[in-house]
Structures are given as structure tokens and as C-alpha cells.
Amino acid sequence: MTGSPRLAGRTALVFGGGGGTDGATNGQAAAVTYARHGASVAVVDVNREAAQHTVEAILAEGGAATAITADVTDGDQVAEAVDRATEAFGPADVLHNNVGVTVLGGPMELSLEEWRRAFALNVDGVFLACKHVLPAMLDRGSGAIVNVSSLAALRHVGYEYPAYMSAKAAVNQATVSLALTYAERGIRANSVAPGFIETPLVRQQLASQAGSIDELMAARHAASPTGRMGTPWDVAHASLFLASDEAAYVNGVCLPVDGGLAMTCAPS
């Protein structure tokens, strides 16, 4: 494995860590990055094949990983996933909550079911994972939680998705609550807020919109102050910092990974 062992001897539990053959996802990049820095990684995804794809990428580099299938909106499945990860590698030292979904449409277009789905996938998953991971962290008096939020939780980024924006804002405040509730017991909780990141899912979503996908992608690149979108590895490296001892005194923050977009006056 490459890289210094910043997480040597630790277990990382990554929910939403599956990947595919058309480029790294945010979850896959996080799982691989944790493994490259010494962690044994339990990769959880609703899609067994996607979880296994990430595991194979880790194993190919000499790391330790196992694939687990679970729906993060189902408490029993989350509890079982945590138990299986613990059986494989021991209790989680790092909990990484990556599962999320964008739900487009305003209040007049969205159904109540779609609104609730946004919160179930983006917020309930964080709640359930923490519910079942925290007891072991508290027993050991240590642990790092990294929740994947979004720049959309902090500002409008040009898309009409109030359900997604609200859900990710809830993730941020849940993170703050976790951080302050358990700080004295050795547990840290932080979130990362990706801006425009080039992922296979983004391409898939843009393909369903009107217009040329190349033009739509070019517009997203141009919206960043850097002139380019970020990559899943940018998000993963920020997550690694927050999960590591180098961030031992960093707690309750929401770290934008956006090339500076949050600091601009208005979305492009």
C-alpha cells in the first residue's frame, strides 16, 4: 500500500462506499484512501456488486477490506452491517457516512414521498449509522465520524432542490450535535461539504437534462473559481484529514471542498 500509515491498525466503516467501472465515486475514493493509509475497511453499499468493486480495488493494492450489503434507511440492516464489520475487523474507529441523493424539484413539483425520501437517505442514514456505531466508540473512549454533506447545505448553487438542501443542512447540524455531545468522551464528528465534484453520478444526472452533456459539464467546471470541478479524491483527502489524529483538535466543523465556491457572491 502507498502512503504513510495515518490510520494504521484502525477500522474504517464506510457507508455508501460502492464504486463502478466508470470512474471513482466519492464513497469509493474515501474507502480506498482510508485503506491506503493503513485502515481495514468495511465497505457498505445497497448494491453488493458496487461494494465488491471497491473491495477488489483495495485488495489489489494489498489492503484489507470486506463488502457488506445494507440499506441505510433500514435500522435492522444497518445494525447487522455494523455487527458484520466488527466481526471482520473489530469496532469502527472511523465512521464515514457517504450515502446521499439529490432530489430535484420545488414544493409544488415534489410529492411528500419524494421529500421524505430525501431525508431518509441523507439524514436517517447518518442517524442509524451513528446509533449503532457510537456504543463501541464510547466504550473505547475514541472515534472519528465524518459525514458527507454538500455545499448546497450552505448556499444556493444554481439547482432547484430544496429537499436536498434542507436534508444536507440537517446533516450539518446533526454533526454539530454529535461533536458537542460526545467531545468529552473522546469522539469527534465533522462533515465535508463537496462543491462541484466530477463523479459518474453527476454525469448520469446531467445526461437526463436538456442540452449537451459536454456543455453542461463545461458550465460546472467554469462555475468553480479554480476553473475545474473537484474530484472524489479531493473529498477523500479532506475526509482522511478529519478522520486522522492530525485533526485531533478539529471538532464540529463543516469543511467545504469546493475550490472556493462558497466564498463567491453568487452561483454562476
Active site members = 164
Strand order, beta sheet including 11-15:
65-69, 40-45, 11-15, 94-97, 143-148, 187-194, 254-257
Which segments of the chain does DSSP mark as H helices, in order?
A: 26-36, 48-60, 75-89, 112-119, 125-140, 162-182, 200-207, 213-223, 232-243
HEC profile of 87-110: HHHCCCCEEEECCCCCCCCCCCCC
Distance separating alpha carbons of residues 21 and 219, to the nearest angstrom: 25
Asked if residues 130 and 178 have their Cβ atoms less than 8 Å apart, the reply is: yes
Residue 235 exposed, middle or buried by CB count within 10 Å (0-12, 13-18, 19+): buried
Q: CB count, 10 Å around CB of 93?
A: 23
Distance separating alpha carbons of residues 135 and 153, to the nearest angstrom: 28
